[in-house]
C-alpha cells in the first residue's frame, strides 16, 4: 500500500498535475456554460425572454406522467393555436389565452418544444408494437426459409422491443447534449498524457531504474504497482471529469426524467438497451473508464519504450489518430473492418451509435451485438497490453 502511495506521489500527486486538473475542470465547466448560455444545449435559451417564459409555462403544464388531462390539454391547445395559425386569425381577442403575448409564437413554441417530445413519448408504445409485429412476422418467414440466424435476430428484436412504452414526458435536450459532449475526453487524454508519460521515463532520467532493479520490490512488484497506480489515476481522471460534466449539466439544465427508459430519448429510439437513463449514464461512465484504462496501458508501453515525454507524446497522438480513424470503420457491413474498428478505446468512448441502434455482427450461426464486441475487444486489448508491458519490462530488466 505504501509503495502504491509513493507511485502516486511520484507521477500523479504533483503540483503541475493538480494545477492542470483544476485549470481543465474550469475549462470544462466554462465550455459547458458557454454552450448552455448560447442556447446550444437547450434551444429555448435562444428565444427572447417572454418566449422563454411561455415555453416554460407550457412545459410545466405538460411535463411528468402522461395523463389523459395533459393529453387533452395539449390536443386542445394544438387545435386552438393551429387554427389561429392556419387561418391567420391574427392577434388577439379579448380574454384569449396566450403564453407569450403572441398567438403565432405560442403555436411555434408549443410545436417545437412541447408537442414534438410529448407525441414521441405518447406514440412510442405504438412504434414498439409495430417493430415487434414485423419482427414476429419475420421469425416465421425466416424459419420457413431455414434461415435460422435471421430468425434468431428477429426473435431478439421481438423480445427486446416488445411491450415498450414511455409513461412520462420530459424534455430531453440536456440529457442528449450530456451524452454527446466529448470535450472532456480531450481533457482526459491530455491529463492522462501528463500523468502517465513520465512514469517509466523518469526512472531512467533520474538513474533510479538501476536502483529499482537492485532492490527486492523494485522489479516486477514495482512495475505492477506502477501499472495499478497509473490505472487508478486514469480511472480517477475519467470519473472526475464525468462528475464535473454531470454536475455542471445538472446544475445548469436540471436533468429531468432520469428514471425514464433510455428510449425516451429520441436519439435512443431504436436502442436495444432495456435500462433507465440513470443506468445508462452509470454504465457509460464504466465504459469510459474501461476505454481510458486501455489508453493508459498504451501510454505506459510508450513510456517504457520511448522514455522521453516528447517522443511518447508524438507517438500517442499518432496512436489516437489511428484509433479515431479505425473507430469510424466500426459500423460496417465488412466484418473484418468492423472488428478492427470496434476493438479500440476511442470507439468504445465515442461511438454512441453502438447503443443507439441495433448493430450486430454474425459469426457462424450466432450474432453478437457490436457494443458487446467492442467491450470484449477492449478487455482483450487491455489484457494483451498488460502482457506486452510485462514482457517488455522483463526483457529490459
Partner 1 sequence: MELRINNISKRYGKQYALKDFTVSLNDGIYGLLGPNGAGKTTLINTILGIIKQDEGSIELDGKDVRKLGSHYYNLVGYLPQYPQFYKNFTCREFMEYMCTLKDVPKSQISNRINELLDLVNLSDSTAKRVGAFSGGMRQRLGIAQALVNDPKILILDEPTAGLDPKERIRFRNIISKLLKERIVILSTHIVSDVEYIAKEVIMIDRGSLVKKGTLKELTEQIADKVWEIHTDDTTANLLMELYSIGNVLATEQGYCLKIVSEKCPASGAVHVVANLDDVFLHYFGKEET
Binding stretches for partner 1 (CB under 8 A): 2-3, 6, 9-10, 14-15, 202, 205-208, 210-218, 222, 397
- Whichever of 18 and 325 has its CB closer to partner 1, that residue is 18
Distance CA 225, CA 283 (A): 27
Judged by DSSP in three states, 362 sits in: strand
Question: How many CB atoms are located within 10 Å of the residue 154 CB?
Answer: 22
Smallest distance from partner 1 to CB 232, Å: 18
Specify which residues 169 forms β-bridges with.
Answer: 64
- Whichever of 13 and 190 has its CB closer to partner 1, that residue is 13
- Whichever of 191 and 225 has its CB closer to partner 1, that residue is 225
Q: What is the DSSP string of 193-222?
A: HHHHTHHHHHHHHTTHHHHHHTSTTTTHHH
Smallest distance from partner 1 to CB 198, Å: 11
Distance CA 191, CA 236 (A): 11
189: cell is 487524454
Smallest distance from partner 1 to CB 304, Å: 17
285: cell is 461512465
- Whichever of 88 and 216 has its CB closer to partner 1, that residue is 216
- Whichever of 123 and 206 has its CB closer to partner 1, that residue is 206
Give φ, ψ of 100 to 5 degrees. Answer: -100, -10
Sequence-distant contacts of 279-288: CB under 8 A, at least 24 apart:
280/355, 281/178, 281/246, 284/179, 285/238, 285/239, 285/242, 287/348, 287/349, 287/375, 288/185, 288/238, 288/242, 288/349
Specify which residues 276 forms β-bridges with.
Answer: 261
- Whichever of 27 and 212 has its CB closer to partner 1, that residue is 212
Distance CA 212, CA 309 (A): 21
**The dihedral sign for the CA sequence 114, 42, 291, 4:** negative
Smallest distance from partner 1 to CB 257, Å: 47
Smallest distance from partner 1 to CB 189, Å: 23
Distance CA 72, CA 323 (A): 51
> How many H-runs (helices) and E-runs (strands) does the chain carry?
18, 4
Specify whether the CB–CB gap between 245 and 181 falls below 8 A. Answer: yes
Specify whether the CB–CB gap between 302 and 316 falls below 8 A. Answer: yes
Smallest distance from partner 1 to CB 20, Å: 15
- Whichever of 2 and 163 has its CB closer to partner 1, that residue is 2
- Whichever of 6 and 324 has its CB closer to partner 1, that residue is 6
Smallest distance from partner 1 to CB 214, Å: 4
Smallest distance from partner 1 to CB 296, Å: 21
Smallest distance from partner 1 to CB 4, Å: 10
- Whichever of 65 and 214 has its CB closer to partner 1, that residue is 214
List the one residue out of 159, 118, 114, 113 whose CA is nearest residue 135.
159
- Whichever of 222 and 303 has its CB closer to partner 1, that residue is 222
Smallest distance from partner 1 to CB 64, Å: 54
Question: Is 93 exposed, middle or buried (CB count within 10 Å of its CB: 0-12, 13-18, 19+)?
Answer: exposed
Judged by DSSP in three states, 19 sits in: helix
Amino acid at each position: 500500500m505504501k509503495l502504491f502511495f509513493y507511485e502516486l506521489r511520484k507521477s500523479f500527486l504533483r503540483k503541475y498535475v493538480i494545477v492542470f486538473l483544476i485549470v481543465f475542470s474550469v475549462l470544462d465547466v466554462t465550455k459547458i456554460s458557454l454552450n448552455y448560455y448560447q442556447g446550444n444545449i437547450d434551444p429555448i435559451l435562444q428565444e427572447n425572454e417572454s418566449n422563454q417564459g411561455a415555453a416554460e409555462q407550457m412545459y410545466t403544464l405538460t411535463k411528468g406522467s402522461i395523463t389523459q388531462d395533459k393529453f387533452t390539454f395539449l390536443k386542445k391547445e394544438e387545435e386552438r393555436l393551429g387554427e389561429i395559425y392556419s387561418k391567420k386569425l391574427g392577434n388577439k381577442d379579448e380574454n384569449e389565452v396566450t403564453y407569450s403575448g403572441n398567438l403565432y409564437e405560442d403555436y411555434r413554441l408549443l410545436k417545437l418544444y412541447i408537442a414534438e417530445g410529448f407525441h414521441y413519448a405518447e406514440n412510442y408504445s405504438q412504434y414498439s408494437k409495430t417493430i415487434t409485429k414485423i419482427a414476429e412476422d419475420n421469425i416465421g418467414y425466416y424459419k420457413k426459409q431455414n434461415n435460422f440466424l435471421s430468425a434468431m435476430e428477429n426473435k431478439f428484436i421481438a423480445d427486446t422491443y416488445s411491450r415498450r412504452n414511455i409513461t412520462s414526458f420530459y424534455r430531453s435536450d440536456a440529457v442528449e447534449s450530456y451524452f454527446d459532449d466529448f470535450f472532456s475526453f480531450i481533457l482526459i487524454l491530455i491529463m492522462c498524457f501528463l500523468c502517465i508519460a513520465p512514469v517509466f521515463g523518469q526512472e531512467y532520467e533520474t538513474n533510479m531504474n538501476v536502483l529499482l532493479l537492485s532492490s527486492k520490490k523494485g522489479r516486477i512488484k514495482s512495475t505492477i504497482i506502477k501499472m495499478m497506480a497509473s490505472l487508478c489515476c486514469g480511472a480517477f481522471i475519467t470519473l472526475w471529469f464525468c462528475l464535473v460534466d454531470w454536475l455542471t449539466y445538472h446544475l445548469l439544465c436540471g436533468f429531468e426524467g432520469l428514471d425514464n427508459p433510455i428510449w425516451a430519448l429520441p436519439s435512443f429510439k431504436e436502442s436495444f438497451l432495456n435500462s433507465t437513463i440513470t443506468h445508462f449514464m452509470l454504465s457509460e461512465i464504466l465504459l469510459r473508464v474501461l476505454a481510458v484504462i486501455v489508453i493508459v496501458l498504451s501510454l505506459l508501453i510508450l513510456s517504457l519504450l520511448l522514455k522521453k515525454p516528447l517522443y511518447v507524446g508524438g507517438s500517442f497522438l499518432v496512436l489516437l489518430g489511428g484509433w479515431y480513424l479505425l473507430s469510424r470503420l466500426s459500423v460496417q457491413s465488412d466484418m473484418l473492418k468492423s472488428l478492427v474498428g470496434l476493438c479500440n478505446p476511442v470507439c468504445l468512448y465515442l461511438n454512441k451509435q453502438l447503443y443507439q441502434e441495433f448493430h450486430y455482427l454474425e459469426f457462424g450461426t450466432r450474432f453478437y451485438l457490436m457494443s458487446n464486441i467492442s467491450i470484449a475487444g477492449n478487455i482483450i486489448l487491455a489484457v494483451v497490453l498488460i502482457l506486452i508491458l510485462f514482457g517488455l519490462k522483463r526483457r529490459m530488466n
